Structures are given as structure tokens and as C-alpha cells.
A and B are shown apart, each in its own frame.
Chain A
Amino acid sequence: MTTILCRYGELFLKGGNRHIFLRALANNVRAAVRDLPEAKVSVPHGRVVVQVADQARAEACSRLERVFGLVSISPVANVAADIDAICAAAVAEAQAAVARDPDLRRSFKIEPHRSNKHFPLQSHEIACRAGDAVSVATGIPVDVHNPALRVGIEISPQATNVFAERRPAPGGLPAGVSGRAILLLSGGIDSPVAGWLAAKRGLAQEALTFHSPPFTGEKAKDKVIALARELSRWQAVSTLWIAGFTETQKRLRAAGRPELAVVLYRRMMVRVADLLCDRAHCGAIVTGENLGQVASQTLTNMRNIEVAGRHLILRPLLTYDKVETTALARRIGTYDISALPFEDCCSLFVPAHPATAARLSDVERAEATLDVAKEAADIAEQAEPIVL
């Protein structure tokens, strides 16, 4: 049996609502490890503690590193409340840590926490005994001010844990505590990152993507599904809706001047997302839009697009540079999928010179030639869900 200590950060700041946040975090942790052998999750004071079978340790750690709300995790050695057992575990953990990262050999420090006041030794004595053992066994010098390696010893009434590994977790708020949203997801680099950032601030999302066969192929669809799956590993997205867009896109293309086309498509996408918000009880739409990146992302056009819908539109990447977005995409594992060569929204439908500041009256006149509400309703009705 392996025990993993999970620490949460920002939730400490919460006042009267703290129990709501904590319950959500514990539920998300449970969901993350539920299918692992012998998984058990408990919430003692100030921590979430996960136990899994030893063979599932690596998998459990890699999943917990993706749970929003946690700031760090430590796989620990669970030992008897006995100083000899503690010292032996401290040596073993320190040796394992320097084997993983030889750089840690520079110096170490013992960091004891003794909340079990019945334990016969006091914190300082525990530190001396364990420090002595580690120093003798490994030859690593002690540095209490600026240690490379920190060996934690936690002696609580429930358990005694020793650890030397701290793996960072993403922080933020537990997915779901901020509410629900629809993520407009494409096969590009930006929208998956936007979905990840929204989840980091506690939004649970369902993704919506538009597919225009034959102008986009099956492989382009598979790419979006792969992106949604990657986001689901972060508990950022639970369902992907695939909406057929070809016929509506053709009609919109023919409805107005070609340079209005992109604004017309995006307004329709927002309308469809609106209907899905109603159906899935979502309070907002999340997009990967970025100020000034392309013609539809000017202030004027973002406004033109926004007013087509009823819901709040969130744009987590609004102020990001492309390099920042790309770096984050690499970190969260979506970049390599986004970089696959299958185009998601066929460039044929994009005019050579899209308007950067479309006049709303022109846009509305173009839309008046078709029944936009019905088009949106039909698309939403026929969208096919994939549970991730």
C-alpha cells in the first residue's frame, strides 16, 4: 500500500464556504484515482490523503499531479510511531530522492511536524536523530537554511509519514466549484489551453466542436477528440459535442459579402453554444480568442460575435502572446496533438480578406436572409456527444 499526501493551497483562504471547496476537491481526487486498485481517499485536517496499491503508485501520482486545487503531492513511507522506524524510513527516502536527482546530494534538512503530542521525543530531538541517521548513511551535509533536499517527518495521531519527494500540482480551484461552461474547442493550439485555464479557476466544462465534412476529414475530427481526451485527464472537460456545420456554413457563406463570413460563422457558433448551455445548465461560454490575433478577434468583431449570444463569454487567453500560449500548451500536453497536420476548420471557408471591423447592421442584414435561430437549433439538436 502506498500513501500519497496531497496539499492544497488557496483553499485555506476561503472563509465560511471552505467546506464546499474541500468537498469538491476530495471528490475530484476520488474521481481521479477511483479505478486504481485498493484506492482510498481521506481528508484529515489540512490534507487530502490517497492510498493505493503499491503497483499503482506511479499512475496515481501522475493523475494527482493533474488535479486542480492541489499545490503539491508527496508519496510517503507510512511507518510505526517509533523513532528507529522513522530514522530508517528517512534514510531510505533520502537515498531514493538522490538516486532520482543526484543534484540533491548538495545538502539536506529534516523537517519534523509533531501533532501527536504523545510521541515521546520532541521535534528538535526527532530532527537530530533522523538527521544523524541520514548524514551517516548517505554522507550528505546538513544545511538547515538552504537545503537542496528536504526530508519531511509528520507524526500525527492518525499516522506517521516520512517523505523526501515533493511533486508540484497545478494549484488553482477544484474543477466544478466555479460552475459549468461550454468550451468552444477546435483542433488548434489556443482553445485547449483556454479550456485548461478555465478549469484551473474551477469551471467544469463540456466542449463543443464544429465539423464540416467533406471540407474537414475524419482525422481532423479524431484530432479534436484526442484534444478533448487530453483535457479530460485534467478533469477540465467531461463531454465533447460534435456539431455538423457544413450546410449552415455554406448558407452563411452565400448570405453576405465574403469578408463577413468569419463573423457570421462565429456568431452561429455562439448561438449553438448558447443552446447547449441551456441544455447542460452552463453559465458561460469559454473561447480561445485572443485580442488582435486574427480578423475575428478585434474589439469590434468580438463585440459583434458576443451580442449574438445570451451567455457570458470568457476568454482566458485574451492577453496572451502566442509564445506564452504555446509554452502552456506544451506543458499541459496538448501541443503535440494540436500540431498534427489535419486542419480542423477548412481554410476554404475563410475569405482571403476578412473584415476586421464588420458593421453590425451589415452582419444582421446578411443573417436576415436565413432563419438563424432555426439553423442553430437544428445544429444543437443534431450534435453528437462523446463522453470522455
Chain B
Amino acid sequence: MIVYLDNAASTPPLPEVLAAVTHAMTDLYANPSSAHGLGAAAARALEQARGEVAGLLRAQPSEIVFCGGGTEANALGLLGAAALARGRHMVVSAIEHPAVLRSAESLVSKGWELSKVAPAPNGRVTVESVMAALRPDTAVLAVMLANNEIGTLQSVAEIGRALRAAGRKLHFHVDAVQFAGLVPLDVQALGADSLAISGHKLHGPKGTGALWLRKGARVAPLWDGGRQENGLRSGTENLPGWVGLGRAAALCQQSPQAGEAVAALRDRLESQIMEAIPEARTTIPATTPRAPHIASLLLPGLPAEPLLHALEARGVYASAGAACSTRAHGPSHVLVAIGISERDAVLRFSLSRLTSESDVKVAALALREAVDEIASVVKLRRRNSKP
């Protein structure tokens, strides 16, 4: 039996998505730009998918740019805005995903200055600290909606309001890759200029994503060519992938309550684990506003990677978010930013709409056994390390 609790890394595509992709690959093989009827059919399917993605974000279809994944959507929002900006200063939160962080860092060699806003120990970046980091020449700001490692939500809408109140005219980009799907999202309420999502995080295909670009906001394309996607993303449309992404987005809209159900399961998982393992605690306070699907748990004094393998041996698949999981991996910038010790294991269990009550029970039980197995060895080491 497989208990898959690594949905923040990737979700299994839904059968309806597979069917839509197969249909598009089988029947809609023509180029959407072709003048004939087959091309028109492909173009219609593409526009339907665009409408479905727009629906998920409560946006206009014309505001959706399809991309080749979340990283590309983030790069288009961030680097595309930077290319047109007059200022040369950018502000990002210190716990952004590498897709945003490294894109931002890549601008430093091109004469940009970069400010990273540190989070509080609960993983939240305050509105005040973001506003305080802004300078007169700040041209781009990026803050993620939900953190991929610990699940904290950022006050994106509040930041958007504060920007408006202050009359700031910068490009505000939002990485929603880890957020979109479970909880209804209304881009108009965020006060942002662009927002990135990824297909495979919401039961769609890998290699698909989209950038919402507010009507009136501008970005430069990352490359030029056939000028598909309104000139912003040249290259023949990935029709099967984007049709699959559209289908996945439509399915998300059909279950607007999914977030609450998943959050309830997540809370149960956390309480069952903490009941079974008294030493365990949540990495950030459970009262922190956070995405419904991520349970980040801290196990003091244990190594993360062997725990994961021990879980896997019991059919449970999760991820490590250790500050230093092994010598070679290096610490996670997110856990370092919120002050987690590298001697403690941080495990991330991430749920989805497909997670069941029994999955949660099995996982909690498996973790109890895994901790026993690993702790027996670690204690031996501890005894020896204090001669």
C-alpha cells in the first residue's frame, strides 16, 4: 500500500486530466496557429483551457499566459517585469522558493540591488517589514502566498493594500505555486500585478504552468520567436499539457470546500503524531495562518533522511525539510531563516484532496515506528560522542 504524503512536491494527475491530455494528444494534434479547421479545433481547446485557469483565479482569460511550469511563470513575472523597470532595486521575502530567489539573485550581476526581507520565527513576513524595505527606486517586489516547506501564508493582500495606500507604483509579483488548488483564490483582491501557478501541484501535468498578468501590467518576454501567448511566450503551444492544466483547474473549482477538509485531516495528522511521539512538535505554531495541506513537524535530535527511508519501508512517502539533512545537501534557507537547529529533523507531510482518513492513521503509526527504529541507533551515537 502507498500512502503518498508528498503532494507539495508533486501531485498525482487525476483520471480526468489524463483523459483530457490523451484526447488532446490523440485528436488535437494540429497547430493552434494553423488556418484550417483542425488548427481551429486546437485553438478552441486552448482557449477553453485558458478560461478554466482564469476561473480558478477569478481572472479574465486574456490575463492568463500559459508557461512551461511554475519556475518559468515566476521567471516571466519577475525577470519580465525587471526588464521593463526603470528602478534597479528589488525586494523579495527571504523564504521564497529558489525559482524566485535565484531569479532575483541573477539580476544582481546586471546591476540590480536585492533586499531580502526576513520572516518572524513563525515564518511570516510582516507587512511593516516589507514596506520598510522599499526604497524610492524599488521596481519589483515578490512575496509568495504559501511557503513550500513549512506552509505559512504571507499577508499578500495586506501588502497589496499597503502598496496602494502608499501610492507605490512597482511590479508586485506573487508566487502562488504552492497555494493554488485547494482554497479559492481571487487575484483581484490581492493587489498584485502578476501571479504564478504550476500544473503538477494541482493534479495537472508536469511541465505546465501559467502566469496571471493583471490587465495593464507589463512584462517583457523572456525570449522571442513565433509570439504565441500574446507575444509573451513564444513557442508552439503545449496543447496537451495546457488542456490538462485547464481540466485540473476546472476540477479544483468544483470542490471549493476541499481546503477545509484537507486542513481538518492535516490537523488530525499533526495531533495523532504528537500524541504518538511526545517529543514531536509542529515547526511553526499551529495557529499561524498556513496552507491547508502542509504539516511540517520537528523531531528533536533525529536525522531526517533515515526517518524518511524508514517511513518509505512502511509505505509512507514524505519529504525532509531538514536544516541540514546530510552533509552534502546543505541547509534549507527557509528553516535557517526561522531559526531551526540543524540537529533536528524536520519532516514535511503534504496532503491532497485524495488523502484519506486512513492514510493519516497509517502515517502517524509509521512515524512512531520509524522514530523508534532510528532513535535506537542515534542514542548509541550520542552516548559515544560524549566521552
Shortest distance between the CB of A3 and any CB in chain B (Å): 45
**Looking across the interface, which residue of chain B has its beta carbon closest to that of A341?**
B328
Shortest distance between the CB of B387 and any CB in chain A (Å): 6
Is B380 in contact with A258, judged by CB distance below 8 angstroms? Answer: yes
Give Cα A330–Cα B54 distance, bound, in whole angstroms.
Answer: 51
Is B309 in contact with A215, judged by CB distance below 8 angstroms? Answer: yes
Please indicate the chain A residues that have their CB under 8 angstroms from the CB of B385 in the complex. Answer: 351-353
Q: Which of B328-387 contact A (CB under 8 A)?
A: 328-329, 370, 373-374, 376-378, 380-381, 383-385, 387
**Looking across the interface, which residue of chain A has its beta carbon closest to that of B325?**
A341
Give Cα A215–Cα B305 distance, bound, in whole angstroms.
Answer: 8
Is B312 in contact with A214, judged by CB distance below 8 angstroms? Answer: yes
Give Cα A207–Cα B311 distance, bound, in whole angstroms.
Answer: 29
Please indicate the chain A residues that have their CB under 8 angstroms from the CB of B378 in the complex. Answer: 348
Please indicate the chain A residues that have their CB under 8 angstroms from the CB of B306 in the complex. Answer: 214-215, 346, 348
**Looking across the interface, which residue of chain B has its beta carbon closest to that of A216?**
B309
Please indicate the chain B residues that have their CB under 8 angstroms from the CB of A218 in the complex. Answer: 309, 312
Shortest distance between the CB of B295 and any CB in chain A (Å): 21
Chain B interface residue count, Cβ-Cβ cutoff 8 angstroms: 26
Proximity string of chain B (299-327) to chain A, C-beta cutoff 8 Å, 1 when within and 0 when not: 00001011111111100000000000011
Is B384 in contact with A214, judged by CB distance below 8 angstroms? Answer: no
**Looking across the interface, which residue of chain B has its beta carbon closest to that of A257?**
B384
Is B309 in contact with A343, judged by CB distance below 8 angstroms? Answer: no
Q: Which of A322-354 contact B (CB under 8 A)?
A: 341-343, 346-349, 351-353
Is B387 in contact with A353, judged by CB distance below 8 angstroms? Answer: yes
Give Cα A213–Cα B385 distance, bound, in whole angstroms.
Answer: 23
Shortest distance between the CB of A224 and any CB in chain B (Å): 15
Is A214 in contact with B329, judged by CB distance below 8 angstroms? Answer: no
**Looking across the interface, which residue of chain B has its beta carbon closest to that of A348?**
B377
Give Cα A216–Cα B305 distance, bound, in whole angstroms.
Answer: 8
Please indicate the chain A residues that have their CB under 8 angstroms from the CB of B309 in the complex. Answer: 213-218
Is A352 in contact with B326, judged by CB distance below 8 angstroms? Answer: no
Query: Given the known A-B contacts A217-B308, A347-B327, A348-B303, are A259 and B377 also in contact in the complex, defined by CB atoms under 8 Å?
Result: no
Please indicate the chain B residues that have their CB under 8 angstroms from the CB of A253 in the complex. Answer: 377, 380
**Looking across the interface, which residue of chain A has its beta carbon closest to that of B310?**
A214
Is A351 in contact with B381, judged by CB distance below 8 angstroms? Answer: yes
Is A254 part of the contact surface with B, judged by Cβ < 8 Å? Answer: yes
Give Cα A216–Cα B312 distance, bound, in whole angstroms.
Answer: 12
Give Cα A326–Cα B307 distance, bound, in whole angstroms.
Answer: 32
Give Cα A259–Cα B370 distance, bound, in whole angstroms.
Answer: 25
Please indicate the chain B residues that have their CB under 8 angstroms from the CB of A250 in the complex. Answer: 376-377
Is B328 in contact with A259, judged by CB distance below 8 angstroms? Answer: no
Contact with B328, one of A214, A258, A343, A353 (Cβ below 8 angstroms): A343
Query: Given the known A-B contacts A213-B313, A215-B377, A348-B306, are A259 and B327 also in contact in the complex, defined by CB atoms under 8 Å?
Result: no
**Looking across the interface, which residue of chain B has its beta carbon closest to that of A339?**
B328
Give Cα A310–Cα B373 distance, bound, in whole angstroms.
Answer: 34
Query: Given the known A-B contacts A341-B326, A341-B329, are A352 and B381 also in contact in the complex, defined by CB atoms under 8 Å?
Result: yes
Shortest distance between the CB of B377 and any CB in chain A (Å): 5
Proximity string of chain A (126-152) to chain B, C-beta cutoff 8 Å, 1 when within and 0 when not: 000000000000000000000000000
Give Cα A254–Cα B377 distance, bound, in whole angstroms.
Answer: 9
**Looking across the interface, which residue of chain B has its beta carbon closest to that of A258?**
B384
Shortest distance between the CB of A341 and any CB in chain B (Å): 3
Is A217 in contact with B305, judged by CB distance below 8 angstroms? Answer: yes
Please indicate the chain B residues that have their CB under 8 angstroms from the CB of A349 in the complex. Answer: 377
Please indicate the chain B residues that have their CB under 8 angstroms from the CB of A254 in the complex. Answer: 380
Give Cα A218–Cα B305 distance, bound, in whole angstroms.
Answer: 11
Q: Which of A97-150 contact B (CB under 8 A)?
A: none
Shortest distance between the CB of B379 and any CB in chain A (Å): 11
Give Cα A254–Cα B326 distance, bound, in whole angstroms.
Answer: 24
Give Cα A346–Cα B310 distance, bound, in whole angstroms.
Answer: 13
Is B381 in contact with A258, judged by CB distance below 8 angstroms? Answer: yes
Please indicate the chain A residues that have their CB under 8 angstroms from the CB of B313 in the complex. Answer: 213-214
Please indicate the chain A residues that have their CB under 8 angstroms from the CB of B327 in the complex. Answer: 341, 343, 347
Is A351 in contact with B373, judged by CB distance below 8 angstroms? Answer: no
Give Cα A351–Cα B377 distance, bound, in whole angstroms.
Answer: 11
**Known A214-B313, A217-B305, A348-B378; further 18 A-B contacts with Cβ < 8 A:** A213-B309, A214-B306, A214-B310, A215-B306, A218-B312, A258-B383, A258-B384, A341-B326, A341-B327, A342-B328, A347-B326, A348-B303, A348-B306, A349-B377, A351-B384, A352-B384, A352-B385, A353-B387
Q: Please give the residue numbers on chain A whose beta carbons come within 8 Å of chain B beta carbons, in ascending order.
A: 213-218, 250, 253-254, 258-259, 341-343, 346-349, 351-353
Q: What are 8 of the A-B contact pairs (CB < 8 Å)?
A: A214-B313, A215-B309, A217-B308, A258-B381, A348-B377, A348-B381, A352-B381, A353-B384
Q: Which 9 A-B pairs have the closest CB atoms?
A: A214-B309, A341-B328, A258-B384, A214-B310, A352-B385, A351-B384, A217-B309, A215-B306, A214-B306
